[in-house]
A = this chain, B = another copy of it.
C-alpha cells in the first residue's frame, strides 16, 4: 500500500522541477496503432489493474512509469520491454516532455496530487487521463480543464463504469424506458476500510468515503438519469470516535432531486460491510444492480430477467476508448467536465451535511 509519507516525499522534490513546454509534442502512432501510456503512481490500482490491462489493450501500451520507488518498480520496465529511460521519479516527471514514446499520461496518485500532476503533464505536451475523484475541489477541476485546453491536449477521467457493458445496458434501458418513466434511484456504495490507508487522510483524499466510493453512487445517478441533480440534502458522521476517521466523514447519506423529478437516495461509508448496488425504479418495473460497480462479477436484472453482458476488463475499455479519442481527435466519453460536475455535487453534498441546508448544485 502506498503510504502518505512516500507520496509526500516523492512530491516534494517534484515541485521544484521545471516544466518543459514544447517538447514531446510529436505523437507518431506506432504501426500497431497503440498509443504510449505513462502511469504516474505505481500503487495497488496500477499494479493489479492497469499494468495487466495495458498488456491486453488494442490501442494502448505501457510507455513509461513515474514512481517514488524506482528500485522497487524497475522490474516493470523489463516486463514490458522498456528502456531504463522510461522510468521517471516525481523529481524527473517533467522530463517526460522529451519522451516522444509517451502520448498519454494516466494520473493514479492520491486525489490531492491530481491537479498538480495533470497540469504538469499537460504542460509537458501529453494527453491526460486521471483517476476519479478528479481533484479535491471543483476549482482544481476547472484549473485542470483549463490547463489541458491551453495545452491543446485531451483530458479524460477514469469513470470506468461508463465503459462497462452492464452499466451501459442499464443506461440503455433508462433511455428506452420499457417500464415507463423513471421515478427513484437508490444507490449504495461503501466498505469497511483498513486503518492507515491514505484514503482516510483528508489532506490527500480531500474527504472520506463520499470522495472515494460514494462517487460511484453519485456518478451512477447522473449517467442513469442523464441529468445533473439540482438540489441535495445530506447527513454525515463527521465526529466519529473511530480513530480511523480523523477529519473525514465515517459515513454519509444524501438525497438528490433531478430536473425531471427523479429523486435519489444514496449512502456511503468507510465503516460498514462492503456494498455496491443501485436500483432504478420506474413506473412499472426496475433495474436492480448488485454488485453494480466492481471490477468483475457485476450482476444486474430487470423485470424481464437477468441482464447478460460479458465480464470484461473495464480498464482496457477505458484506456482504449481514450486512445481512440486521441487518435481520431473525437470527443472523450468521460472528459474533465464529467469530473467537474461530480465535484460540484460533492461540494454541495458536503455543504448540506455541514450546514443542514438543502443546497442547490
- A residues in contact (CB < 8 Å) with B: 179, 181, 183-184, 186, 188, 190, 192, 231, 233-237, 240, 250-257, 261, 263-267, 269, 271-273, 275, 279, 281-286, 303, 352, 356-358
Contacts and interface: CB of A to CB of B under 8 A. Distances in A.
B272 A183 contact: yes
Contact of A233 (B237, B269, B281, B358): B358
Given A235-B231, A251-B183, A283 B265 contact: no
Contacts of A181: 271
Nearest to A359: B356
Contacts of A352: 233
B263 A273 contact: no
B253 A271 contact: no
Contact of A235 (B250, B255, B269, B285): B255
Given A186-B186, A188-B186, A255-B233, A266 B269 contact: no
A267 B263 contact: yes
A284 B358 contact: no
> Which of A237, A264, A281 has most chain B Cβ within 10 Å?
A281
18 contacts: A179-B273, A183-B271, A184-B267, A192-B283, A231-B356, A233-B235, A233-B255, A233-B352, A234-B255, A235-B257, A235-B358, A237-B261, A237-B263, A240-B261, A253-B255, A263-B267, A269-B281, A272-B283
